[in-house]
Amino acid sequence: MFFILSKLLLIFILPLTWIIALFVWALISKKEKRKKKLLIASFTLLIIFTNPYLYGYFVYLWDAKPVELDKTKTYSCVLVLGGFAGEGPNGKGFFNGSADRFIEGLQLLETGKAKHILISGGNASLKPDHFYEGDWAKQQLKLFNIPDSSIIVENRSRNTIENAKYSKVLLQKMGLKPPYILVTSAFHMRRALGIFKKAGVEVAPYPCNYFSFKPEFSLGAFIPDADVLAKWNFYIKEMVGMLVNSLSG
């Protein structure tokens, strides 16, 4: 039930929802003074959340910084969080914009930094079918001739909390010793680390999939960009998620 509610409530915390809601409220409002205030609020939010410089600077402060792992250490497992693949209309999987998670995990395995790779991801749809990200990712790993003995699949999880919960069981069952390398997008690493710590899973962070780096102050950086508005959704979700996690103890 919590999973379903979190999916539905997400719609109401996104910037575009508030921008549209305030604009519509202004249109139907009969009081001119209120109408003016609502239009100003809607327009202000639109300017803020489409501004590349403000977005870029927030991302620079929020995202986990790139890390360099101990060159003398070999880890028992690299744990790659799902969210890098989806199901196409033909029922086949495809890599999305977060594919860097898969690439970095594969690279860490192939270069000998980790002995095993664990892909944690099921089907987060409200109406799941037969597509499971972890299973699909295993098929892709086998295309690179990765042996079955090095691949671990966790295909039940629907969110980060379940990633940590189910991965912990598999890692302990296989007797793989921590810390494990945790690979996920830089914007997601803060929340993921908190969740894995809470679950009692010791990990070494390895952020990837950077959306932006420190922005340069220029005229072009202040031209409204609709793509920026869409990217804010990732960060709003992360901030709310961290707040919920902290309140839940």
- Residues 42 and 127 grouped into a single domain: no
Q: How confident is the model at residue 2 (pLDDT cuts 50, 70, 90)?
A: low
- Residues 110 and 196 grouped into a single domain: yes
- Residues 37 and 153 grouped into a single domain: no
The secondary structure of 140-208 as a DSSP string is: HHHHTT--GGGEEEE---SSHHHHHHHHHHHHHHTTPPSPEEEEEEHHHHHHHHHHHHHTT--EEEEEE
Domain that holds residue 85: 78-208
Write out the two tokens for 127: 């109406």
Indicate whether 92 pLDDT > 90. no
Q: Is residue 217 part of a domain?
A: no
What b/e string do you get for 55-75 counting C-beta neighbours within 10 Å, with b at 16 or more? bbbebeeebbeeeebeeeeeb
Q: Is residue 241 part of a domain?
A: yes
Q: Is residue 214 part of a domain?
A: no
Q: How confident is the model at residue 128 (pLDDT cuts 50, 70, 90)?
A: low
Please report where in the chains the tokens 């980060």 appear, as a residue.
160
Q: What is the tens place of the pLDDT at every residue in 160-182?
A: 999 999 999 999 999 999 999 99
- Residues 89 and 166 grouped into a single domain: yes
Please give the model's pTM, rounded to 2 decimal places: 0.89
- Residues 120 and 149 grouped into a single domain: yes
Contact 183/105 with Cβ under 8 angstroms?
yes
- Residues 83 and 196 grouped into a single domain: yes
Strands (E), 33-132: 78-81, 85-87, 93-95, 117-120
Q: Is residue 86 part of a domain?
A: yes
Q: What is the tens place of the pLDDT at every residue in 226-244?
A: 999 999 999 999 998 888 7
CATH of residue 142's domain is 3.40.50.620
Across 135-163, average pLDDT: 96
Q: Which residues touch 37 (CB under 8 Å, ≥6 apart)?
A: none
Indicate whether 117 pLDDT > 70. yes
Indicate whether 23 pLDDT > 60. yes
Write out the two tokens for 12: 């109401």
- Residues 22 and 99 grouped into a single domain: no
Instruction: Determine the pLDDT at residue 214.
Output: 76
Three-class DSSP category at 127: coil
Mean pLDDT (the chain) is: 91
Contact 201/178 with Cβ under 8 angstroms?
yes
Please report where in the chains the tokens 């744990």 appear, as a residue.
79
Q: How confident is the model at residue 13 (pLDDT cuts 50, 70, 90)?
A: confident
- Residues 94 and 201 grouped into a single domain: yes
CA distance 159 to 122: 9
Number of domains observed in the structure of the chain? 2
Helical pair 100-110 and 133-143, crossing angle rounded to 10 deg: 50
Q: Name the CA dihedral angle for 220, 225, 230, 234, rounded to a multiple of 10 degrees.
A: 20
Q: What is the tens place of the pLDDT at every residue in 68-87?
A: 998 889 999 999 999 999 98
- Residues 31 and 112 grouped into a single domain: no
Q: How confident is the model at residue 6 (pLDDT cuts 50, 70, 90)?
A: low
Please report where in the chains the tokens 């710590």 appear, as a residue.
197
More confident residue, 127 or 86: 86
